[in-house]
Amino acid sequence: MINRSGCSFPGCAVKSSEAWPPPGATPTNFYLSKGPSESVTSLNDGGLSTSPAASDGSQSSYAYPHPSWALGVVAVGPQGPDPVRGVLTFTTLPLPQDVEIAGDAELVLYASSTRPELDFCIKLSEQFAQDPKARAQGLQPNSFIVTKGWLRASHNAGHTAATPLIPGKVYKVEIPLQPIAYRFRQGSRIRVEVVNGDSPITDALFFHIYRPDKLGTDTIYHDAQHPSHLVLPVMPKD
Tell me how crowded residue 48 is: count the other CB atoms within 10 A of its CB: 22
| Domain annotation covers residue 19 | no
Residue 7 lies in a domain: no
Question: How many structural domains is the chain composed of?
Answer: 1
Please name which of 99, 97, 75 lies closest in space to residue 201, comparing C-alpha atoms.
Answer: 75
Find the CATH number of the domain harbouring 103. Answer: 2.60.120.260
Q: What pLDDT does residue 202 have?
A: 87
Domain residue limits at 132? 26-234
Q: Is residue 6 part of a domain?
A: no
Q: What are phi and psi of 203, to 5 degrees?
A: -125, 5
The per-residue pLDDT for 9 is: 55
**What's the pLDDT score for residue 4?**
42
Is residue 123 within 8 Å of 148, Cβ to Cβ?
Answer: yes
pLDDT at 12: 62
Q: Is residue 51 part of a domain?
A: yes
Separation CA 8–CA 14 (nearest Å): 10
Residue 64 falls within a domain, yes or no? yes
Of 60, 185, 68, 73, whose CA–CA distance to 123 is shortest? 73
Burial class (CB in 10 A: 0-12, 13-18, 19+), 168: exposed
Does residue 135 form part of some domain? Answer: yes
Between CA 41 and CA 23 the distance in angstroms is 37
Indicate whether 9 belongs to any domain: no
pLDDT of residue 53: 80
pLDDT at 161: 76
The pLDDT score that the predictor gives to residue 2 is 42
Flag residues of the chain having pLDDT under 50. Answer: 1-6, 11
Q: State pLDDT tens for residues 32-70.
A: 999 999 999 999 999 999 998 877 779 999 999 999 999
